[in-house]
Amino acid sequence: MGRLFGTDGVRGVANADLTAELALGLSVAAAHVLAEAGTFEGHRPVAVVGRDPRASGEFLEAAVVAGLASAGVDVLRVGVLPTPAVAYLTGALGADLGVMLSASHNAMPDNGVKFFARGGHKLADELEDRIEQTYRSHASGEPWDRPTGAGVGRVRDYDQGFDNYVAHLIGVLPNRLDGLKVVIDGAHGAAARVSPEAFARAGAEVVTIGTEPDGLNINHECGSTHLEKLRHAVVEHGADLGVAHDGDADRCLAVDAKGNEVDGDQILAVLALAMREAGSLRKNTVVATVMSNLGFKLAMEREGVDFVQTAVGDRYVLEEMKAHGYALGGEQSGHVIVLDHATTGDGTLTGLMLAARVSATGRSLADLAGVMERLPQVLINVRDVDKTRVKSSPELTEAVETAERELGSTGRVLLRSSGTEPLVRVMVEAADIEQARTVAQRLADVVKSALG
């Protein structure tokens, strides 16, 4: 049986892979592991539990709450809120752990369970492993040590969570958004109420789409994975910009006044220069992944901002930031982490900070995003090959070296083995799209012949 915890908690098809029994068992196991680790020492433990609006979140929330309370943990149920809101409230309320039920940008049938440690930080891998081991041992028959009487956890709704989180967002903004017109696509997800409210309180005129969740329509043809409706709405309403979230609102992509996409790399570039100007870009460094467009790296070099790359995944970005004290990092997908104000990617905060930069400078988003030129990027997935030999094939090494010489300083080659499928990803960037396509196809053919 494979590992339950992935890079972002436990995910699967709700009521098939992720059952009520599994959610309950993991919650009980988490309570026991954290108690053994000394997290609850000397006080009655408290957990913050939130969810996105998926229909399955209703029964999974009930299972998680039941599991925690049965293990002696008091529960503050904050309802439908973004993942970063649950992380923030976990820290702000001094809770011992937080639990978020969401499958982020995944389709509606999926759901997930994600645990936060005290302070709202991601749970350490070692603790996740112990939770999984503890869950498996008890799932096979070992009885739990259960409290009784006054020892059981108490459950109450914490209705102030929404206002507390929005107030936090407004409180960290460098300036107001008066005079800006913003379209918000909430992906019929966890930010459907929060994001429009935050932008309105900050002074923006707000137009909303994707803000009517019914439990079944989350991420459906809307949000950060489907920008078409946002592009149309921004142009139709003559807005200054649009922002799009995913289902749990830990990411943000944007659209300029003409309907052109502004991706995570461009948002990072804009915020990096804004934070440097404000003196908050610690060590004059921004963190991104190897999948960031080469145009981002070239722009940061030109602007004199240091650039650190990590493996793909916001968890690796966050680890690098925490290890070296950096303030800003993110991914092309729109996961942007501003570590002074959030412990995880926060789509609403990102959108607000981007809009604040537009407001403060009086420049259009297109003009600001123009600090970097996105070089054409071609990605080819080569299937049914031995991905374990990517780094050991002489034929492939030679082909990559030849391609890199051909592309020079304005191009880049990246070969990555998929972590979940039997395939190798070939990514090529070049100043010219036709050159990128030609080189990418040539490398894909070599991957097929050398590793097939």
Q: Domain ranges for the chain, please list them.
A: 10-159, 163-369, 377-451
Out of 27, 56, 102, 104, the active site residue is 104
Torsion sign, CA atoms 292, 267, 169, 155: negative
Strand arrangement of the beta sheet that strand 328-330 belongs to: 306-310, 285-289, 328-330, 336-338
Walking along the chain (452 residues) 10 residues at a time, the average pLDDT comes out as 80 96 97 94 95 98 98 98 98 98 95 96 92 92 91 98 98 97 98 98 98 98 96 98 97 98 97 98 96 92 96 89 97 95 97 98 98 92 86 89 89 81 87 92 91 82
Contact criterion met (CB below 8 Å) for 345 and 355: no
pLDDT at site 1: 52
**10-159 and 163-369 in the same fold:** yes
- Binding residues for Mg(2+), as ranges, are 104, 246, 248, 250
Report the distance separating Cα 447 and Cα 452, nearest Å. Answer: 7
pLDDT at site 420: 61
**Residues 233/237/241/246 CA torsion (nearest 10 deg):** -30
Report the distance separating Cα 24 and Cα 99, nearest Å. Answer: 12
pLDDT at site 443: 94
Report the distance separating Cα 3 and Cα 129, nearest Å. Answer: 9
- Binding residues, as ranges, are 104, 246, 248, 250
Topology (CATH level 3) of domain 163-369: Alpha-D-Glucose-1,6-Bisphosphate; Chain A, domain 3 (3.40.120)
Torsion sign, CA atoms 14, 19, 23, 24: positive
Report the distance separating Cα 49 and Cα 250, nearest Å. Answer: 16
Closest CA to 253 of 312, 183, 204: 183
Scanning 5-82, the segments in alpha helix (DSSP H) are 20-36, 56-70
Closest CA to 307 of 366, 278, 349, 265: 265
Contact criterion met (CB below 8 Å) for 241 and 254: yes
pLDDT at site 195: 98
Amino acid, single-letter form, for residue 216: L
Torsions phi, psi for 213 (to 5 deg): -65, 135
Strand partners, 76: 48, 156
Structure tokens at 27: 């919650």
In a 10 Å sphere around its CB, with 0-12 CB exposed, 13-18 middle and 19+ buried, how is residue 304 labelled? exposed
pTM of the model: 0.92
Report the distance separating Cα 171 and Cα 193, nearest Å. Answer: 18
pLDDT at site 2: 67
Topology (CATH level 3) of domain 377-451: TATA-Binding Protein (3.30.310)
User: Is 104 one of the annotated active-site residues of the chain?
Assistant: yes
**DSSP result, 80-99:** E--HHHHHHHHHHTT-SEEE
Report the distance separating Cα 338 and Cα 172, nearest Å. Answer: 11
Q: For domain 10-159, give the CATH number.
A: 3.40.120.10
